[in-house]
Amino acid sequence: MERLRSAASGAAGRVGRRRRELEAGENLFLGGFPRAASGPGPPGRATCRRRGTRASGAAPPRRCPLPFLPCRRSRCGKAERSQPRRGSASPGRRGCPERASAPAGAAPRLAAQSRRRPEGKVVCGAGPGAMPGRGALCLGLLLHVLLGCRSAQQPDSCLSLCECSEPAKTVKCVNRNLTAVPPDLPSYVRNLFITGNRLARLPAGAFPAQRLPDLSALNLSGNHLRAVEAGALAALPALRQLDLSGNPLVSLSPQAFGEGGSPLEELALRGALRDHSVLLSLATMLQSGALRNLSRLELADNGLLLVPASMFTALLALRQLDLSNSSLVGLRNVSFQGLGGLQSLNLSDNSLGVLRNGTLAQFRSLPALRRVGLGRNAWVCDCAVEDLVAWLKESDQVEGKEALTCAYPDKMLGKALLKINGSDLNCSVPVDLPSQLQTSYVFLGIVLALIGAIFLLVLYLNRKGIKKWMHNIRDACRDHMEGYHYRYEINADPRLTNLSSNSDV
């Protein structure tokens, strides 16, 4: 289009130069007749009078339809043919004022030109009656008209900061330092790439529906996005694919796709859920059914430790789920119930140590599940891994299961899970600490109860001896108390006190 515009501007310049040349040499084109000293038209432009009118009549002269082309009509029409062939026209007769002063020798040449050129026609190009160089003029005029019609039919213009391709229905705004979504995107776009820019947030109505009715694939990865507000993606009725990967999101509204939901089928959030609150907002959005048509969900590279419970239960159309390259330590609280169409589950590059019976039972209950990725996890090869080993041996769902190896304990390091036997496992190491502590508390209670029962039994068997011992202790205490009482009475009576003193003397 740019080359076409430059060609049109060059052609217009050549047309202007050719027009000036034609105006300068118009007398030569008219067969050597000089231009009239006075006439009704502007200087430098040929005029044609209507037939049956006098030179000084009231009817205005007929001008040529193209202002920069010389008039190619017969100068006098039938009036010329009705006049006798004379060298000069008598005053008062009808005729061309230009021919009144023409020399007599030019009349035959003018008659020949009149016979060659039909009345009222403009001749372009080469051939009889055509002017040399007129092809360039006609080509420039045609190109100018075509460009004008083209601009009138296409009101949408692509941005100078974006790369637009109308045949591919694609617009790319890559690494342009944009701070907002361009407002004048062309309406034909179906694939929109706005990546590597500096969009801080997506406000409500960032993509107007009346301008983008056919937008189906939207890539907003790597834009430094931090907030996606409510209604930011609600007005895209044809949206099927959305990529928000590589954005440090801190706020994701559960109503980002509006209240009525979205036809979205593929959502990529790689490295965009580093903030735990954003993960909870996404879980709320998924559980609300706003993305009930979602068939592919990518949550890789997010450093997730745990996945919120029942996060995927409303995604009945889910086919592919990617949870790879995170830090998942377990799937005990994750529910895959209801995902009957799930075909691929990627759990590789995590920190999984063991898969419990509940999780393995959910895998067995998914009829369409064909690919499960478990590579590069820290598997603990103890008594709890027996169920996982049995499932690996009987199932064909795990990709590359021969490469799964133990990471703990040291004596099992690097040993393939499929080659583990019951004798190789060290079951003395407690696996489930809470249940082990619970068992210890029960055992301690039983021991204390036995000790109490034995103590009571000993007391019962020695009841007589204990009774005699209790009586002896009572008598001893009584004698001791009587001695104290006797001494108290002596000290309280003065006579007994003196007697006691004399007797001592």
Q: How far apart are CA 505 and CA 497, in angstroms?
A: 13
One-letter amino acid identity for 392? L
pLDDT at 322: 96
Q: How far is CA 236 from CA 203, 207, 241, 416, in A?
A: 14, 7, 11, 50
Query: Which stretches of the chain drop beneath a pLDDT of 70?
Result: 1-157, 209, 426-438, 493-505
Beta strands in 11-64 (DSSP E): 47-48, 62-63
Helix (H, G, I), strand (E, B) or coil at 485: helix
What phi, psi does 499 have (nearest 5°)? -65, -40
At 462 the pLDDT is 86
Contact 181, 207 (CB under 8 A): yes
Residue 297 has phi, psi (to 5 degrees) of -135, 120
Distance between CA atoms of residues 13 and 174, nearest Å:
37
Tokens 């430094």 locate to 224
pLDDT at 428: 53
Find tokens 């075909």 and name the residue: 343
Per-residue CA distances from 431 to 231, 358, 382 (Å): 48, 17, 8
| Per-residue confidence (pLDDT) for residue 136, from 0 to 100 | 54
Residue with tokens 């790597």: 222
Q: Read off the amino acid at residue 78.
A: K
What pTM was computed for the model?
0.57
Amino acid (one-letter) located at 296: R
Q: Residue 271 and residue 329: Cα distance in Å, rounded? A: 18
Is 412 in contact with 373 (CB distance < 8 Å)? Answer: no
Strands 201-202 and 62-63, sheet pairing:
unpaired
Rounded (10°) angle between helices 494-504 and 463-492: 90
Residue with tokens 């008219």: 30
Partner residues linked to 268 by β-bridges: 243, 298
